[in-house]
Structure 1
């Protein structure tokens, strides 16, 4: 990975390059003004990694199946060859000599050489492309070991020697291929959840023309306002609003729930939802590049390219490993040659060292665990935008929550709508409809749509919205902020409104906590993670919700700067804080926190600033993500431990001549498979999560 990234990073056309070993993908950030990536593909071809664009290549399971089948055929051929060569070797070991032994050696060579050429091509091709590009990879020592063992055996056969190693060479190839096949299958399982998302993307859609006729168009041709017809059994191609018809949708991709959802005219639906029962006509709300599904795929692509502390450690170790392996093998050969004078024995031991020290397990220790974890989080409706977010999430020791829209649903109701005059009604409606804050949207539902357009309108994150309405400055938002222009203060709860120099009006709101909020806070507290509220709302409203949800600490009337200051204070105390927020006023705090999460209902700025975005409505996603992050951190440490322990045991044994090439091949393959299998344990915990989530919902109901 590091070699690929260095080669591409040296190109003037590339700003940044990130390779993912498990996903077999490279993410390239082109330099400004670069529209042609020809130099990138040329460089990848030069260093032995020919590539194609993901959008242009068929990355479905068909590609994976072809590789699986090729490896499986190679395993079968190598197994057949190993069986027959071993039978011939048994005859030699049993005492066959003279012309009989030489004949058996010749027959073994005739079987072994084509079998090794066919089965070992995966290792030889990879090693050759690496060496021709002026670099080393993990297949170089493997290919060298197989080639040396075979060449040594051919030399002994030609000169009529008594000992050959065709059985070891073919059996070595057989076990290496088994390890490569199992490794490939496990990697395929690890990335299935990730690549599966791209299979939900629709390539074509049915456009309804003004004449009423229907034609098929590509999804790239869909623009906002395009009328589409979605028959039963097809997926929604872009984010849409239903115009006519009724149907049931499978929105599990968005909500994590498998129960069908009934929709009708006026409902807004995300790309990727499956239409189950009836045909509906819809209006496109966004182009395909800005759809919900496209945003999810971009988040996953960003997560794949992330680099955490453990990944950087593994990259540095793997970069040093290949030259050290060959130096160690050479030193072993020289040492044995000096001690015994038997160059054949020395070569035999050196070959074992080349094989047994392959750094496959170390290279797989981190990326496989991270890909499996990201796939599991996605299956639970949690998207990871940064590959290092898992490591930072596992380090969290405190959680800070925004209130409105995060701990609450954002769908507030007015306890009592205040009596306002016509001018105030008009101004409140004009300001509320132009604000993205949930409280303003709630107020707007109680007023007729205002046809007055405020002048100099501006939304102040954490405070409210202001503008000039019919020549007068007006504010709607936090009471202390509105009070700066109001002539008289008004006690009470909720947002406030006032014209400049007039009396303040208050809008008392009744907020509904999100499903699972109290349970999520309680579980975090039981796991040793204290929580606190950081809200811009009034002290009374924040205290009321804090008591209801079981918070021990809550802070009110905080602006964006206040939230950042609080996070800085916690950081100075050695705390690593997870910030959970959704609004425009939370954007800076989300970016400043050690790690951050937002619901899918958050503002665009909030989602962009957060490291993780959860799609489900209930807050069980927060403790779930923390559990997965901690499990992943344990798995990564275990993988490093397994890789180090394997080398500490295997390398001295190989240098001491105890390990044969065959045993080395079995041990090396087993270590790689063990690391991948250990990472896949992250998926096995998913069933327990589903039961815990179901319990959350039952309690909340």
Structure 2
């Protein structure tokens, strides 16, 4: 992997005319004369890369705006004019070859396998050199020492050539263009340590520093590999959303002929045939037929929605029963599902600000350390005139200030905290989410499947005559509708034998019993024009006369009320955002005492609400489970989903809790806040260590061996401090720290 890969000749890399034609076809119309092209740039990996690409493309004629998403390695360029700018040629000239982003979500990161191989080589070499160094530093005989030094040199060479090339190629590419990046000082340090070690080996010196060079490569590659793994996890949610879209659809011609067209070729106005079990390919209106749709991707609700002539349908929804013919109203790139993908990618782009801050900090750290080592070298040269002594002091400064302790300060606490959370039945999808969760001051919950189990329960069983309930249950057992399952569950074993049973898609069920027609379903259909249809809902009728009206209520998750009370006690505001009707959302909010409620929200409006809270400076936890919650989960400061959530929701969430109870939310908050305190302590220990060790090393009072031991001691200190994270988190300790009350602990233990 290289941050700045060697430039490609535009004429050799691609056919300019073909590239421009594809760029034009793949661009999206934003209105007001603006179009947007999305490019994949695999070479992006730090803040310097982002600045270079954004500044370089912004200078092209016609370019209005450039945004780089470091998480997905995507560059979004807005441009004006009849023809797109020469974006791919410009990227190649900057040292960042790219291509159109169209299928990037379906492709794994090509750099990841390369990084893992490089990490394996560096780890093998570093560990073996360390073993040999133990004997050398312990006072081995001259012949043994000389042999071990040459063996170490032979092991270090493939580590530098194969594993170190990741840094060398990147540094050289930046220097060729008069720029610098964080790989430049890294490459200088590695090369200096290896060169001096080789010199000392040739001249039979008592010590060499091959272990320092290879270990530095190994630890740096660990961080870079983990970064790529996190980006790959971030892309899984986007890939899951894209899989909801079919590859094509059956289009009806004006003469009644049928043609299968790829999704990209479907245009507004085309008539598309949809059979039961198909997903809607693009947004459209129903031109013929009636059916029921699973709209969980839009509303998050499990109840099927009936559709008929003129109803709007959205891409990604699933046709459950009847056949439909829809008239497309948008292209695939402008459909609802594509909008959800863009919302998620925009949210991940915003989250990349945290990575940019970390990149800038790392980019500053290395130059400061190397500058300090260089000044130490100059000072000792001026004071003693012994270049070997000066270089040895400079290397000691580099080793003793190796950022291992600082690098471990956060991840080791995250590893320990992740284990504690796993023991409580909570999976952590992203290590950085632990520190983000500790910062929250607001928690936003979805309703169906989150606060409730998404399983309606018949609420008025006692008001319905047993004979009527038995007939309704006999009808309901032939349907998979959630309300039908609730009615069937409320009645005893089936003792009623029906005849002529059939389902009317989107309306209900009907059958004959004792020569009489019974209907179970929507009131307007079951009762016909009868005035008894007033009030709507689900009813049972006999020859059009009302027999029973069914009321349903949602089942709350276990521990929901206690969990919300614990969050409020911890100073976290609680709100409910739902795609369901205001009436349904209001009932649940009243039962749980939630004051802030917003209902009837599509995915984009949920994201807008979260953005508004973020604009007020709030740090928001989003807890949701449905497909429609996926963009909101990605956009929130931190997110959580139950294991029962849709695959896409689980992929987009930072935490997934395995138990049915909602007590996992305050438990995760308590662990995260405790981990946050340990991270602060680890940073203090690492900074104190460097503040004490650096002056001693500059003074020449530390040999490379002592420097290596001191560096290891600092790492051991932060690891030992991280292990202090108490798995019990007793109520007394949590209350003393002002944290979440752990009064839910017994219930959580029962949940296990």
Q: TM-score range by the shorter chain?
A: 0.5 to 0.7
What 5-or-longer segments of structure 2 have no aligned partner? 15-38, 47-70, 75-98, 172-182, 231-347, 512-518, 732-741
Question: Are 1:555 and 2:588 an aligned pair?
Answer: no
1:600, 1:613 within 8 Å by CA — same for their partners in 2?
A: yes
Deviation sequence 1:183-237 (CA, Å, 0-9, x none): 89x99xx99xx9xxxxxxxxxxxxxxxxxxxxxxxxxxxxxxxxxxxxxxxxxxx
Deviation sequence 1:662-698 (CA, Å, 0-9, x none): 222222233334444444555x536869x97651247
Deviation sequence 1:240-283 (CA, Å, 0-9, x none): xxxxxxxxxxxxxxxxxxxxxxxxxxxxxxxxxxxxxxxxxxxx
Distance 1:17 1:674, change over 3 A: farther
After TM superposition, give the deviation of residue 399 of structure 1 in Å: 1.8
Q: Could you tell me which residue of structure 1 aligns to residue 376 of structure 2?
A: 332
Aligned pairs (5 A) from 1:205-284:
none
Q: Could you tell me which residue of structure 2 aligns to residue 520 of structure 1?
A: 563
Equivalent residue in structure 2 for 1:630, among 673, 684, 699: 673
Q: Could you tell me which residue of structure 2 aligns to residue 84 of structure 1?
A: 139
2:118, 2:162 within 8 Å by CA — same for their partners in 1?
A: no
- In 2, the alpha carbon distance for the partners of 1:376 and 1:4 equals 36
- In 2, the alpha carbon distance for the partners of 1:674 and 1:120 equals 31
- In 1, the alpha carbon distance for the partners of 2:710 and 2:452 equals 54
Deviation sequence 1:148-206 (CA, Å, 0-9, x none): 26745865x7xxxxxxx61xx26x7789999999x89x99xx99xx9xxxxxxxxxxxx
After TM superposition, give the deviation of residue 622 of structure 1 in Å: 0.9
- In 2, the alpha carbon distance for the partners of 1:692 and 1:180 equals 47
Distance 1:142 1:444, change over 3 A: same
Q: Could you tell me which residue of structure 1 aligns to residue 701 of structure 2?
A: 658
Q: Could you tell me which residue of structure 2 aligns to residue 296 of structure 1?
A: none
Distance 1:146 1:524, change over 3 A: same
Question: Are 1:399 and 2:447 an aligned pair?
Answer: no
Counterpart secondary structure, 1:531: strand
- In 1, the alpha carbon distance for the partners of 2:4 and 2:454 equals 47
Distance 1:699 1:325, change over 3 A: closer
After TM superposition, give the deviation of residue 581 of structure 1 in Å: 2.9
Equivalent residue in structure 2 for 1:600, among 631, 639, 643: 643
Deviation sequence 1:553-606 (CA, Å, 0-9, x none): 263865547766765654454333323233456556545544332212234564
- In 1, the alpha carbon distance for the partners of 2:7 and 2:423 equals 33
After TM superposition, give the deviation of residue 529 of structure 1 in Å: 1.5
1:9, 1:16 within 8 Å by CA — same for their partners in 2?
A: no
1:639, 1:675 within 8 Å by CA — same for their partners in 2?
A: yes
Question: Are 1:126 and 2:181 an aligned pair?
Answer: no
After TM superposition, give the deviation of residue 617 of structure 1 in Å: 1.0
Q: Could you tell me which residue of structure 1 aligns to residue 459 of structure 2?
A: 415
- In 2, the alpha carbon distance for the partners of 1:14 and 1:139 equals 27
After TM superposition, give the deviation of residue 353 of structure 1 in Å: 2.0
Q: Could you tell me which residue of structure 2 aligns to residue 203 of structure 1?
A: none
Distance 1:609 1:331, change over 3 A: closer
- In 1, the alpha carbon distance for the partners of 2:152 and 2:723 equals 28
Q: Could you tell me which residue of structure 2 aligns to residue 383 of structure 1?
A: 427
Q: Could you tell me which residue of structure 1 aligns to residue 661 of structure 2?
A: 618
Aligned pairs (5 A) from 1:451-462:
452-455=502-505, 457=506
Deviation sequence 1:341-363 (CA, Å, 0-9, x none): 33343233223223223233344
Distance 1:585 1:337, change over 3 A: closer
Deviation sequence 1:276-307 (CA, Å, 0-9, x none): xxxxxxxxxxxxxxxxxxxxxxxxxxxx9997
Question: Are 1:695 and 2:737 an aligned pair?
Answer: no
- In 2, the alpha carbon distance for the partners of 1:670 and 1:139 equals 25
Distance 1:647 1:629, change over 3 A: same
Distance 1:589 1:36, change over 3 A: closer
Q: Could you tell me which residue of structure 2 aligns to residue 116 of structure 1?
A: 149
Aligned pairs (5 A) from 1:89-238:
108=142, 110-119=143-152, 125-129=158-162, 132=165, 133-134=168-169, 135=171, 136=183, 141=189, 144-145=192-193, 148=196, 151-152=199-200, 155=203, 166=206, 169=207
- In 1, the alpha carbon distance for the partners of 2:365 and 2:546 equals 74
TM-score normalized with structure 1 length: 0.55
After TM superposition, give the deviation of residue 393 of structure 1 in Å: 2.3
Equivalent residue in structure 2 for 1:529, among 552, 564, 572: 572
Counterpart secondary structure, 2:427: strand
- In 1, the alpha carbon distance for the partners of 2:105 and 2:455 equals 45
After TM superposition, give the deviation of residue 128 of structure 1 in Å: 4.1
Deviation sequence 1:465-504 (CA, Å, 0-9, x none): x79999xxx9979x9xx9xx99678679xx65699x9999
2:450, 2:557 within 8 Å by CA — same for their partners in 1?
A: yes
- In 1, the alpha carbon distance for the partners of 2:594 and 2:109 equals 58
Paired residues in the alignment total 509
Q: Could you tell me which residue of structure 2 aligns to residue 252 of structure 1?
A: none
Distance 1:569 1:177, change over 3 A: closer
Counterpart secondary structure, 1:84: coil
- In 2, the alpha carbon distance for the partners of 1:83 and 1:577 equals 55
Distance 1:180 1:670, change over 3 A: farther
Question: Are 1:315 and 2:359 an aligned pair?
Answer: yes
After TM superposition, give the deviation of residue 397 of structure 1 in Å: 0.7
Distance 1:125 1:589, change over 3 A: closer
1:82, 1:174 within 8 Å by CA — same for their partners in 2?
A: no
Deviation sequence 1:335-391 (CA, Å, 0-9, x none): 222233333432332232232232333444444444554454445433344555434
Distance 1:309 1:36, change over 3 A: closer
Deviation sequence 1:484-526 (CA, Å, 0-9, x none): x99678679xx65699x99998533355432222332232222
Deviation sequence 1:622-641 (CA, Å, 0-9, x none): 11222233344444444444
Distance 1:511 1:659, change over 3 A: same
Distance 1:510 1:441, change over 3 A: same
After TM superposition, give the deviation of residue 615 of structure 1 in Å: 1.6
Deviation sequence 1:8-30 (CA, Å, 0-9, x none): 9999996558999xxxxx99999
2:477, 2:485 within 8 Å by CA — same for their partners in 1?
A: no
After TM superposition, give the deviation of residue 546 of structure 1 in Å: 5.5
Distance 1:538 1:387, change over 3 A: same
Moved more, 655-664 or 401-410: 401-410
Counterpart secondary structure, 1:520: helix
Distance 1:408 1:671, change over 3 A: same
